[in-house]
Structure 1
Amino acid sequence: MNAMDLSNHFLIAMPSMHDPVFGGTVVYLCEHNERGALGIVINKPTEITIDSLLERLDLKLEIHALMGRPVMFGGPVQDDRGFVLHSPKGKFSSMLQITNEIAFTTSRDVLEALASGSGPERVLVSIGYAGWSPGQLEEEIGRNGWLTVAADPDVIFDMPIGERYVAAMKLLGIDPLMLVPQGGHA
């Protein structure tokens, strides 16, 4: 058993993190165990829209609410594949149910269901994911790279993308404007 299981938590990049990939991000952790961690960045939109992604897969989007919605940059790992966070409606061939409100699916059948209108109501589609090898995430947290807080599905699915970072910080009771980028020296 992993001493630190942060599945169903947000990782919030510290303001001091100037990493070009993860600076300013909120990552939803789908899985965290002795084999490492897997998460999806929820606040970095790509230029790709859900309808254009589905079109590339020869799927026609029937749901107008999803038209023009951006696909997220989920992370640098397998950034040629789609990953979907969604409300657990239906059973898909490679679905990991994380909570009663959030599931993670990597198989095409969830995109087919979305396109046809029979898919989950709440959805975040990403290209790529964020991955950490065993012990790597714990080390980054130990170096104050990330803040962690229990995830709120409303931040993932309902919050405007530009407000997700501040909303995740507020779950910790922190106003990000009050955080200083560097530690002080006496």
Structure 2
Amino acid sequence: MSGTNNDGYLEGQILIAMPSMGDSRFERSVIYLCAHSAEGAMGIVLNQPADEVTFSDLLAQLDILPEGELIQLPDESQPLTVHKGGPVETGRGFVLHSGDYFINDSTLAIDSDICLTATVEILKAMAEGRGPKHALLALGYAGWAPGQLETEIQRNGWLTCPADPGIVFDPDLERKYDLALQKIGIDPRLLSGEAGNA
């Protein structure tokens, strides 16, 4: 099930940071919401690279592959960028991926096209060319306490748009923000930092 569910929660939606956000960590961020309930929310930032670490570095650090060993990745997943998924648990890896890969008791199917797995097994499968067709690897996540995300949305900090695997898995991080805004009919050049109330 994707989109806003009957309870008004936004699990499976994309959040788009507005200029009025006021938190530099999320400036021009596009976030996929993996979970949203009365207990809070959790999402993965889709458009911030973790410049200091590569997929090869990560595999070597986790002893998945010896340093220097050639990694056989499917052509469509090259190059695999490691993302900054958010400021919470930055040492923990999360993989958003297409629904063609599933590990029982480890993979969370958020909707039919997008799943989340946070185990070393998926990294091994990706390194060996057995992983999902589309994947986004992130270190850390964005988290909100109960009611916090709703308050930020009411204060014009975020816009939401339907999830689109084309945006989630687009390798061009620079254009994800504009693509998400265009999906809901907003010209990015017309945004200002001023929020108004009707």
Q: TM-score band, normalised by the shorter chain?
A: over 0.9
TM-score of the pair, normalised by structure 2: 0.87
| Match status 1:63 vs 2:63 | no
Q: CA RMSD for the aligned pairs?
A: 1.9
Could you list the per-position Cα deviations for residues 135-177 of structure 1 after superposition, in whole angstroms to 9, with x for gaps in the alignment? 1110110111100111111011135110000000011100111
Runs of 4+ in structure 1 over 6 Å off? none
Aligned partner of 2:95 in structure 1 is: 84
Corresponding position: 1:141 with 2:146:
no
> Are residues 1:34 and 2:38 paired?
yes
For residue 111 of structure 1, report the CA deviation from its aligned partner. Answer: 0.7
How many pairs does the alignment contain? 185
- Match of residue 141 from structure 2: 129
Q: Note closer, same or farther for the CA distance 1:184–1:12 as it changes in structure 2 (3 Å cut).
A: closer
Unpaired stretches in structure 1, ≥5 consecutive residues = none
CA distance in 2, matches of 1:7, 1:130: 13
Aligned equivalents of 2:145, 2:179: Cα separation in 1? 28
In 2, distance between residues paired with 1:184 and 1:38? 27
1:61-98: CA deviations, max 9, x gaps?
Answer: 32164454321100011100100000122332421001
Shift of 1:4: 2.1
Partner AA of 1:168 in structure 2: A
Aligned to 2:13: 9
Q: Distance in 2 between matches of 1:140 and 1:2?
A: 21
Matches of 1:183 and 1:140, distance apart in 2: 12
Please list every run of 5 or more consecutive structure 2 residues that lacks an aligned counterpart in the other structure: 66-70
**Secondary structure of 1:21 counterpart:** helix
Give the residue type in structure 2 aligned to 1:133: A
CA distance in 2, matches of 1:95, 1:35: 20
Q: Closer, same or farther in 2 for the Cα pair 1:130/1:46, shift >3 Å?
A: same
Query: Which residue of structure 2 lines up, in the alignment, with residue 112 of structure 1?
Result: 124
TM-score, structure 1 length as denominator? Answer: 0.92
